[in-house]
Chains A and B, each alone.
Chain A
Amino acid sequence: MRNGAEILKLGTLTLVWWCIIFGAVWAACYIVGILIPMALTSYESDAARMTAETCRALTPILSVLVFIPINAMFMVLFERRGLAIFTVRLGPNRVGPDGYLQTAADAVKLLFKEDITPRGADAFMFTLAPIVFFAPSIFGAMPLLAAVTNYHELFQIANLPTGIFFILAASSVPVVGIVMGGWASNNKYSLVGGLRSAAQAISYEIPLVLSLVTVCLMAGTLDVVQIAKQQSGGILNWNIFGGGALRGLDQAISLKFSSSAPALQELSKSSFEQVLKSVYLEPTAQALGLGAGQEGLAGIIAAFAVVLLIGSIWIAYGLYMTGACAEINRIPFDLPEAESELVSGYNTEYSGIKFAIFFLAEFTNLFIVASIAAVMFFGGGDCPVPAWLGTALGGPQIASVINQALTPLIEIKLVDPPTLFATIWVILKVYSIVFFAVLIRGTLPRFRIDQLMDFGWKRLIPLSLIVFVLVVYAREFVNVHVGT
């Protein structure tokens, strides 16, 4: 660990920035969602009640509006420092304490730069493009908010029964902005970049959507809150591990853990097998119409189905990440802004605040795709430690200690422990995925446009269809998400 100091610095920086981001969002939500309505309720008039309701309803959008710029600023810094660590450098460490304010300074610089509209450009479209690019990422993230705040009442309003559908629909709007910007810039490079982006988005949206549809198929719902809720109860229940295919195993182990007394050993052993049998063997046998005495066969088929399911979902996750990288134009799919070919693609002519908005949206989109992955595959705000292991490690005691410590804050409704924990877990998961994206950015070269199309249409789409079909069949033999 000759680089320990730098890693530590990155860790501290991340923690401090997370505190800043969540402090700001938390404070904004608290003031608008709780304090103001509380103050208004004392008036007891219809107008006051309505204002209070409006305030509460506005909380989700306000939190997103506060969250996105600060978070994007941090993500740029995170990426730069992360890349610096991968490339044996130090990264920005001058502005503010140890470079904490580097991107804030960059943002300020961009805001004060001259806003140039090139001659011959369509000024209206040119201005509209960054807005169209950025706006969907604000409202697109809404349903996720409900999923990651552990069903906090303030954010329930953001939920939709067709959540994932809405998110995907919103996330495909930005490409219009790119095409618009490319066309309006009156620059050939921009135009080529914009058109490439359109082609790319169309091709890669299909595997992206199909992989998410596979997850929805397992979950049986489009509601992201439901999908997150189903996966609660530790890492074995997450969709990435077959979406409850291992739940039987989980239950069986927890039963074994709960009966640790020696006298109950025998009993628990039998019940362990019983649980496995009831969860895996019986449904399989039932589905296949196998009678008694053919349990061995049913067991083999059930085990195979579980393995198949998990493998398929891993592939689906890979497909999702590939499609998502292409969707948000990150290396190795950053063809719309390929620097060595197209100068800077669709944003060649942009400067000042418009460029800042493009930049902001790019990183926000990265955050959103990472949070979709966290919710759809990694259990949303769920703690990765299974309940039985958590109990063994003294989880409840720790939780109660924290609860006690936070009691004064809970009483004034500043902190809601489940929401707090859920948010922490989500942010850890999301930033792990972002970190991986940074690593990929540091390694891979970029595709060529025709190879990209080949890869998308000839490899990813068939593969995603295969995965979809496999999951449809495997699901027949395994009880996914039992009892939820």
Chain B
Amino acid sequence: MATDTEVDLTPRLKTDEMLINMGPQHPATHGVLRLILTLDGEIVRHTEPILGHLHRAQEWQGQNRTWFQYQALIDRVDYLSGMFTSWAMARAAEVVDGCEVPERAEYLRVMVSEMNRITSHLLWLGTYLIDLGAMFGFPFYPFREREKLLELFEEIAGQRMMFNYIRIGGVMRNPKDAWLSKLKRFTEEFPDRVDEYEAIVTQNPIFLKRTKGVGILRKELGMDYGITGPSIRASGVNLDLRRTKPYSVYPKLKFDVPLNDRDGDTFDRYIFRIREMRESNEIIKQCLDMLPQGEISGKKQIAGLRVKAGEGFAAVESPRGTLGCYIISNGSDRAYRIKWRNPSFCNLSILPELLKNHPIADVMAIFGSIDVILPDVDR
């Protein structure tokens, strides 16, 4: 599968290999990832990712904090999509506890999560273009829209990134009407903004050159490595928990899951995230129309929050892939055991495969395209 962009000079020219240490303090590693690259000239022959610089023992902390306290901590697992980590744990706890979640709470959850998906993808879009070198102009545009959403988050949850909004049994707070109308206005103007991004980026010849045919992720390889999320959908695997294993009120909502018909490259992963943003926007619109009245929490949010004894697993479709949480509860006010299944960790494992025989300039193009967030990897 030699493509024209892949550079292979080995048979004719043999040079000494050079070890280069990329990160943990590198401007483009999106956090503290360390990559030990073996270079032949500028071609990467071997990659060794070294993790753990940001290990915060999130699972262990779950066993030493009460449920109520741990809810506030888990937004930090994946700080760009805190709603999803909260949701995964809340769902797992609800599976164990068997408590009912009011419908209004479910709609609110879907709404804020899809907002969070958009913010996450917007941040990815901006930083990805920085990875590709357009670092002075374009990245500010996605951040401008993200800022609007963050302000909405701030209003409803009280914090811009560490929301602590989705709780076991429901959500924290009821949105005001003003908030809903602000969100509605946002959803109306957002597609135009995405069009603008696409006008600048999608057809840009330099961007196409940098991304097309680069870092091709074969379907089978991706499945072997357990890749999830937009990255695997861009390679044609129909894996979107919102559709394949529907949860919450997703069955009632109309939305497309974009699916590729060939092995996806970096460009596909870009375009699929763009499409996902548009779909998320549609979902929010529908939720705003369908939002029922009623309770917002099926469980009292008190300091001594307890979950019935038992064990259970639940997963949600986070912007990076399948985010799962496994819980064993012994009925006390804290978990007996918590285990996370983080999409970033699994997605990162394929990096050495993708980087092989690509020039060093593509390291960041490929690494950026699988959208890994380091706190999510190291937990």
Contacts and interface: CB of A to CB of B under 8 A. Distances in A.
Contacts of A448: 209-210, 359, 361-362, 365
A83 B359 contact: no
A340 interface: yes
B144 interface: yes
Interface stretch (B20-28, B170-178, B281-289): B20-28
Interface string B135-154: 11110110010000000000
B363 A341 contact: yes
Contacts of B20: 188-189
Contact of A88 (B5, B131, B140): B140
B7 interface: yes
A451 B361 CA distance: 11
Nearest to A189: B20
Contacts, number: 90
A341 B360 contact: yes
A443 B362 contact: no
Contacts of A341: 28, 360-361, 363-364
Contacts of B129: 445
Interface string B162-184: 00000000000000000000000
Contacts of A449: 42, 359, 361
Interface in A402-428: none
A446 B206 contact: yes
Interface string B113-145: 000000000000000011111111110110010
Q: Interface residue tally of chain B, by bracket? A: 20 to 34
Contact of A340 (B7, B18, B27, B209): B27
A68 to B, nearest CB: 23
B363 to A, nearest CB: 7
A445 B26 contact: no
A334 B207 CA distance: 15
A351 to B, nearest CB: 16
A433 interface: no
A445 B136 contact: no
A350 to B, nearest CB: 16
Contact of B42 (A192, A331, A343, A447): A192
Contacts of A113: none
B204 interface: yes
A404 B160 CA distance: 64
Nearest to A341: B361
Nearest to A87: B140
Contacts of B7: 450
Q: Interface residue tally of chain A, by bracket? A: 20 to 34
A89 B139 CA distance: 12
Contact of B134 (A89, A189, A335, A444): A444
Interface in A325-364: 331-332, 334-335, 338-341, 343-344
Interface in B24-51: 26-28, 42
Given A445-B206, A446-B134, A343 B359 contact: no
Contact of A444 (B18, B141, B206): B206
Contact of B204 (A189, A343, A444): A444
A86 interface: yes
Contact of A441 (B137, B200, B361, B365): B137
A192 B20 CA distance: 11
A442 interface: yes
A334 B27 contact: no
A441 B200 CA distance: 13
B186 to A, nearest CB: 16
A232 B188 CA distance: 54
Given A448-B362, A450-B359, A334 B136 contact: no
Given A340-B131, A341-B361, A448-B362, A442 B18 contact: no
A87 B27 contact: no
B204 A188 contact: no
19 contacts: A87-B137, A87-B140, A192-B42, A192-B360, A331-B136, A339-B27, A339-B28, A340-B27, A340-B28, A341-B364, A343-B26, A441-B137, A442-B138, A443-B200, A445-B133, A445-B206, A447-B210, A449-B361, A451-B209
Interface of A: 83, 86-89, 188-189, 192, 331-332, 334-335, 338-341, 343-344, 441-451
A-B pairs, 4 with minimum CB distance: A446-B133, A442-B137, A340-B28, A87-B140
